[in-house]
Each structure stands twice: as structure tokens, then as C-alpha cells.
Amino acid sequence: MPDQDRIRVMVVDDHAVVRSGLTAFLSAFQDLELVGEAGDGQQAVQMCAERTPDVVLMDVMMPGMDGIEATRLIKRASPQVQVLALTSFIDDELVKKVLEAGAAGYLLKNVSHVQLAQAIREVHAGRPTLAPEATQALIRAATAPPTPGHDLTAREREVLALIVQGMSNPQIANELFVTESTVKSHVSNVISKLGVASRTEAVALALKHHLIE
């Protein structure tokens, strides 16, 4: 098959054994051509600019720069490059983040060689490709209730943090250089938005959902 008709693929994974396996897999298909291997996100970004692949098989979890940030940088520099996330597990937040970063697909590493080859062809043609588990993760994310405290203002988060520290309204007013009536209003808003009945419940909810740093 003429080189111009082959899909140029770059493999990114921090495990040499996985890269070796993917390299062997690519050699089995005449329409796929390996043009580079990278062991981390930073190397992937640099190599992508040099090798100009059509499709990047991107591991998501890697030390240093992960696959999410690498995908974002690659898509920013080379929008025409298609990124296919290839990972060992499904995490709802990871699926959402890597797709938001610009990946055109998300597959598990236990996919068959034939399925992976077809997925590469699909994303190269501009058709998104998701593992069924990734589709379910997106559905869960879309239908999940909002995280408690998502609508708190920056000032209300400050007040909540001081409540968690055990401060009274006068102490919070002194800390923030505002009046006690202003603090009272903020505390009331915090309790209302969190859907709790007391300061104690607000503290418990804040700690449970990591609403403050």
C-alpha cells in the first residue's frame, strides 16, 4: 500500500512492554504505520510536532505529564491530529477530562487487535469511538446530581472554611474585616445552598465532599 494511503500512528505509553506490543500489533495491518513511540506526555508533545502522526494512541495515566495534558497540548498545536485514549481502566472523571482535552476516542487496553485497528481508522476519519464502559461513564456524569457546594461564591467558601476551623461569627467578621451582620448573611447562604440545617452539618458536608482546601 502506498505510504500516502497509510494511517500514521504514534504510540504513547510509559511501559516499554505495552509500546512493544502495540508496535507489533501495528505491523500486522498494511494500512497502519508506526511513526514514533513516546514514554511520557512531554515526549509525546515534542515528538508529535516532529513526526506529524495522523493518530496518537495515548495512555492516560503516566508519571510527569499525563495523557490528559499531553492531549490538550497536542490538539492545541495540531488540531488535525486525532488522539485515541487507550487505558487499563475506566474512571468517570478521567473519561470526561480526556475527552474535554480533545481526544476523539477512549478504549480499554483489553480491546482486540481488530477492534483497535478499526478504532484507529474511525477516529482518523473523524468519527468518535468510545468503549461501552466510557459511554456509560459519560451518561453517569451527565445525569449525576451537582456536587454539594457547586454554587457557593468565593466569599462563601472563605466563610465555610472559617466555620470548619471552629470560628464564631464575631471571629469570622474580624478575620474578614466585615460586619457581623454580613457574616450572618454569608453563613445563612452557605447553610441554605448546602441544604443543611446547622453549622455542624455544614462542616460535616464540607469535609465529606472536600469543599475546602
Residues 117 and 21 grouped into a single domain: yes
pLDDT in tens, 11-51: 999 999 999 999 999 999 999 999 999 999 999 999 999 99
Instruction: Please give the residue range of the domain that contains residue 66.
Output: 3-143
Show Cβ contacts of residue 111 under 8 Å, excluding neighbours closer than 6 positions.
86, 119, 131
Is residue 73 one of the residues assigned to a domain? Answer: yes
Q: Please choose, from the candidates 132, 123, 31, the residue with its C-alpha nearest in 3D space to the C-alpha of residue 90.
A: 132
Show Cβ contacts of residue 177 under 8 Å, excluding neighbours closer than 6 positions.
none
pLDDT in tens, 145-196: 777 888 999 999 999 999 999 999 999 999 999 999 999 999 999 999 999 9
Helix 199-208 crosses helix 154-164 at what angle (to 10 degrees)?
100
pTM above threshold 0.85: no
Residues 28 and 101 grouped into a single domain: yes
Name the one residue in this structure whose C-alpha cell is 451582620. Answer: 181
